[in-house]
Structure 1
Amino acid sequence: MKLNKITLALIAAAAAPMMATAGVTVSPILLGYHYTEAQDDDNQEKLGFYQEDDLYTGAALGIELTPSTQFQVEYGVTDSDAIGRDGKKFGDAEREMITGNFLVGFDEFSGYRDTAFRPYALIGAGQQKIKVNRPDGSERAETKDTIGNLGLGAMYRINDALSLRGEARAIHNFDHNLWDGMALAGLEVVLGGHLAPAVAAPLATVEPTPVILVEADQDSDGDGVIDRLDQCPNTPANVVVDETGCPVQIQIDDELKMELRVFFDNDKSIIKEQYKPEIAKVAEKMREYPNSSASIEGHASKTGPSARYNQRLSEARAIAVKTMLTNEFGVAPNRLSTVGYGYDRPIAPNDTEEGRAMNRRVYAVITGNKTMTVDQTKDMNVQ
């Protein structure tokens, strides 16, 4: 019986559970030490050579069938020297193994269900291929054998996705009736989390149907709908209701338009403390009207060394207001636009100190709208 057929049968048996919500397990690296019984003279005669003990490296892919059981397909390789009957080196041997293994946990009948330490038993079958090459790379011998695995191990769950794994395994060669041993350790990763234990659904309870005694058709809240039909009791007076006694709601568009003026000291772009409460009010309104925006204009008086200098100063003043709205009050930057006009747009004469103080300013217009849903009252004029 060839192992590839056994492996296909095991995978087919596990196919249905694999389509469910089981967690996929990956052991990207398995390191172990392979002990070979074939060194005994009697067993050496069966193969014509034996492979020396050496390092085993492998990887595994699995699927959880239950919270304590999983099926894994494992592939591993052991490279070492092959020794002939004369005790001399026979060649370079490579042993490849592919197996399908069931890892059956002891959770269901032990005290380990709620601990990170999870012992398990392993049973499986597969195929190994040993290929021996001469030093020049030419093939000298090859054997393919059906093998079976028995083992005991334990997982230590670091978290729900990562576990450390340790295992001792006996490997039986059915074709030559040989026994090998292996000790290995590795890392296991669970994709999507482990399967959760099944929880029994609570029994449904049937509540008795209450019996309501109605003496008369009353309208306690006076909305025109009797109590036994009123789905919204205690409606406030003067509110229009529908046939179920619930308030009729209408939508009202509310427009926002407000202005902001901030004045600066000569040759400065620092916002004075007295204007911060006004800027805070703008931010509050912009949060209340989430689709509102602000156009921020910066201006300067005609006292700077050049028009270009005053242009940059006016831009800096507009940006200072935008920065405060964004950094201190949480208004999104893409809702704010800035522009600097230098001293091109005075609102007062520049030949007096009072006029120049009025011109050193930031002017902002905030616009937007929102739609509100309100209860319609009987005196509300709806166009």
Structure 2
Amino acid sequence: MKRIVLKCLPVAVAALFSGIAAQAQETATSPSMQFSTWSIGVNAGVLTPIAPFGGRNDFSNWKSDLGYGLYIKKQFTNYFSLRLDGVRGKVKGDNSEAFDSGFTPTGVSAFKTDLSYSGSLNAVVNMFNIDMFQKENALQLYVSAGAGLAGYKPSTTTGSATTEFAGGKTISELIIPVGLGAKFKIAEKVNFDLGWTVNFVDGDNFDGTYRNSNNDKYSYAYAGLEFALGKGRQLAWHNPVAATYDEALAAKNAANALKSDLDAQKAENARLRSDMNDLLKDSDGDGVADKLDKCPDTPSGTVVDGAGCPLKTPAPVVQEKIIITEADRKVVADAIKNLEFDFNKSTIRAKSYPTLNRVAELLVAKNFSLKLAGHTDSKGSDSYNLGLSKDRAESIKAYLVSQGANASRIEATGYGETQPIATNATEAGRQKNRRVEFTLY
């Protein structure tokens, strides 16, 4: 058993320090939630060879003597930490009185053990903070348990002779410390610590005497100070229940504030919706809101303007049906037949005036429209022929207008040589292509 603990204790200590390094790095990355997790403590108190479960070891009368210790602690959570404890001091007792059973021991009358060292790794559990609704409290209860080694030198007294056990050599034994305590916060980084630890020794030679084959025990009742290291509040005093409660209250207050804002926004939206409905109200259904309707109560189906008033529609225009007779066409045909121009010019010869006059009278009398289309043969350039054909058509239009015809009803266009009606290879064909066409409509 002792060899197993000797092998495991260094591993446990190494695990403690590696966990400390990892948590320190994690804490450093969260400055807004940084807590102090390292602490050291010093204490002093009373060592006695007694335990509440197991009696007074091998001697009937226990005595108290000075003990002192120190520790280093790493707080991993609000409720759990690992503590490396060291204790020194003296433990003594005698047989100056009878045991509770009435047995009066003889032989060895007293013992004194020099506790050269005691080192143990202990798990410490904070039982609770006194007020669960306080984020930090001033009083804390805890329990602890662990394992370690104790080195001690016992000596016994028989009559007037004192004998050193095992020739005065230091004996090393496994110890199992179990304790409880109370801690008081007296400053931001300082705690007052009261505790009591019972150490179960894996052997029956702690008092230098073998009796009843019972393993020995000793107690250490102490008082001391604990000093928190590093920046931030002490993690052990932080109460996550209260913090969660405060966060829940803050969230509830924020939700209530948001609900109030939402209710106010809903009321504002309802008011805006009502105003919009009033603005868009159209009682007569003509598509113009009442606020803009200058002609309310317009009958349903009435076409209205932007002001809501009935739209005035112009009287329908009656299109006069135009009838072109054969006599009308003959007048136009005679004008075409007798139409002559000066050579290579747009000047109308006088012999063409009488038939053109009859065309002008026809346009005035019957309000006809007339399209004039000028054409040439292929002699000459394209641009020249196009211009000549246009000019001749315009010349006829000008003459008809001078005789009273409506200019807006006469269209004059020139096509040049692009629309021949006969071949341009002969003089007779070219003669037919040099023409102005009259179209009544």
Shorter chain as normaliser: what TM range?
0.3 to 0.5
Q: Which has the higher strand share?
A: 1
Q: Which has the higher helix share?
A: 2
